[in-house]
Chains A and B, each alone.
Chain A
Amino acid sequence: MSIRFDSVTVAYDGNVVLDSLDLTVAPGEVMALLGPSGSGKTTALRAVAGFVRPASGRVLLGGRDVTDLPPHRRGIGMVVQQYALFPHLRVEDNVAFGLRARRTPRAEIRERVAEALEMTGMAAYARRYPRELSGGQQQRVAIARALAVRPAVLLLDEPLSALDARLRSGMLAELARLHRELPDVSILYVTHDQMEALTLADRIAVMDKARLRACGTPRELYRAPADEFTASFVGNANLLPVTVTASGAALGDARLTVDTAGAAAGARATLCVRPHLVGLGDGPNRLTGTVREIQWRGSTHRLHVDVAGHAVMADLPELRDPPAHGAEIALHFAPEDAVLLAAGVSGDER
């Protein structure tokens, strides 16, 4: 079922927390709402669930206007950060809750509870109470509980942020598998973690300060971000202030060859280069600078280099012979790996 935000605005006491959001999630699509805290992403999700009422605008599920429907009549599944498993009910009763509330026949409840627990790998824990489970297990039960009612729309609000890093990447794979098994379920996935969004989402909606900044496939947003905020929030980015020239851009004395995409010569712009696309040594688009910091990260070296007063990060495959601190080195990047962002469009007051 599709989810559509039609200029949805939410305000608390005159304080706008979501500013006329227009967004459509296609049936079966995984849409990540990515943004820092206070960006309005959770508010957007809660507007779909029915826990906040938009000041204006409509929320549509499968083409049906649900703006005025109470939460229990929207037919959604939801998993929140702290899981909110009912502490007084066993795992199986937690999972059966939605089905009992809908007066599903008893035999069918048993069947669907077993199926949901099987799907999330929690069948062995059916008789336990939530307090007897680990964080990751509680998470699975929360997902099983949401899936048992067979929702057409699944809302996930930071579902992995209470887990430690290793469990998180495991659960991420599980969520991807679940979505492959349930290809018709649309998923709205709220997160502040770019890795989760890049890994799981078909499309990412980047949000900042109550507004939608950009929306596109992870690859689009990563390869060709529309603005500085998106560039720095989706992956790491070197953002360099440049002046557009006839054949590319100028950073101080350095003449760089990049696609100007029709920007007028002489205009100010920001050049975005991903750190892992920066190479060491001579090559096209050569930059020279002083090594300020060398971080060894096991499989990579991260260099912080001062290029004419601008900090440039380079992530290089582990170097046999890393440059010394304070050394003068040359860096380069391929013209097609850089994106020119119009300055002042965004990233303004940050």
Chain B
Amino acid sequence: MLVHSRGARWAVWAVFLVLFLPLFALPLLVVLGASFATHWSGVLPSGLTTGNYRAATRGEALQALTTSLVTALTASLLALAAGTWAALAAAALRKRQRRVMDALFVLPVAVPSVVVGLSVLVAFSKPPLLLNGTSSIVIVAHTVLVTAFAHQSVSAAIVRLDPAYEQAAASLGARPAYVLWRVRLPLLLPSLTAAAGLCFALSMGELSATMMLYPPDWTPLPVLVFAATDRGALFAGSAVAVVLMATTLLVLLAVSRVRTRASYR
């Protein structure tokens, strides 16, 4: 323990709570409170109801939830595949080439997501690759945006992977493909699931690029939240936001369970 005296420990906790609560917890609590309200004019919300949730879990909102889930799952799996593949390929390159590759993959993060959305829109609005107006264009944009995170966390894990394992495997007569499937990927599994969780969470919350691209029949949940608040329906929007938050957390929890089962040491 860093702080030894009892008093000092309490003080550190107090500072932590004073900083943490207003910054992180309170806004979320406010949204949670608002989602059950019909009015909020005093200190606490009033006119408590579950009607907002009834609206947020059926019809348009339910459709949007499915859309978001499908988009996020597809995008994070695509990103994981592309990012892992690239990270594995980069590991075999020389230092300078590897740096170029890393820079390329960081690009979508460095560039504002509005710009990524715009460029995807421009790129796929004309034949031969006419994706504008389809669900694919949203998934493509999300994939581009989150691949960077998949690539980064997987390449960090590859660097830490002890080459002794693959060498032991090779000395036992395993071909490189066999070593990849039976040794390297299983050993990377904890980082792969972590990367998948990160990509999923990012994609679930993506708004700015999505706004420029989504077709009417493929409206992800964040767009719905934005639309609701934009027209002043704060309490209905809050309920949708809580649903979005809860779903994302639930999926992350499931992923982290897979991860604990996958970590061997």
Contacts and interface: CB of A to CB of B under 8 A. Distances in A.
B162 A84 contact: yes
B265 A76 contact: no
Interface in B155-194: 162, 164-165, 167-176, 178, 182-183, 186-187, 189
B264 interface: yes
Given A84-B164, A131-B264, A101 B178 contact: yes
Contacts of A77: 171-172
A71 B186 contact: no
Contacts of A49: 167, 171
Given A87-B264, A87-B265, A131-B265, A146 B165 contact: no
A97 B174 contact: yes
Majority secondary structure of chain B interface residues (helix, strand, loop or mixed) = helix
B173 A98 contact: yes
A102 interface: yes
B167 A97 contact: no
Interface residues of B, number: 21
A80 B172 contact: no
Contact of A84 (B168, B173, B176): B168
B164 A71 contact: no
Given A86-B183, A131-B265, A97 B165 contact: no
Given A75-B173, A97-B174, A88 B187 contact: yes
B118 to A, nearest CB: 44
Given A86-B165, A131-B264, A78 B183 contact: no
B175 A101 contact: yes
Contacts of A155: 171
B169 A97 contact: yes
A206 B249 CA distance: 62
A177 B176 CA distance: 34
Interface string A80-102: 10101011100000000110111
B170 A72 contact: yes
B167 A72 contact: no
A87 B187 contact: yes
A70 interface: yes
Contacts of A80: 164, 167-168
Nearest to A97: B172
A72 B175 contact: yes
B167 A84 contact: yes
Contacts, number: 75
A149 B172 CA distance: 7
A12 interface: no
A81 to B, nearest CB: 9
Contacts of A296: none
Nearest to B163: A51
Interface string A34-59: 00000000000000011100000000
Contact of A51 (B162, B167, B175, B183): B167
Nearest to B183: A86
B264 A88 contact: yes
Given A87-B264, A88-B186, A149 B173 contact: yes
B126 to A, nearest CB: 47
A70 B171 CA distance: 9
Contacts of A102: 173
Contact of B264 (A70, A82, A129): A129
A78 B182 CA distance: 18
A88 B187 CA distance: 7
A146 B170 CA distance: 11
Given A51-B167, A84-B165, A87-B265, A101 B187 contact: no
Nearest to B174: A101
B185 to A, nearest CB: 10
A101 B264 contact: no
A74 to B, nearest CB: 8
B56 to A, nearest CB: 42
A145 interface: yes
A49 B171 CA distance: 7
Given A87-B187, A101-B174, A71 B167 contact: yes
A101 B172 contact: yes
Interface of B: 162, 164-165, 167-176, 178, 182-183, 186-187, 189, 264-265
Nearest 8 pairs between A and B by C-beta? A98-B172, A101-B174, A84-B164, A71-B170, A78-B171, A87-B264, A84-B168, A88-B186
Given A74-B171, A97-B172, 5 more contacts: A50-B171, A84-B162, A86-B165, A88-B189, A101-B175
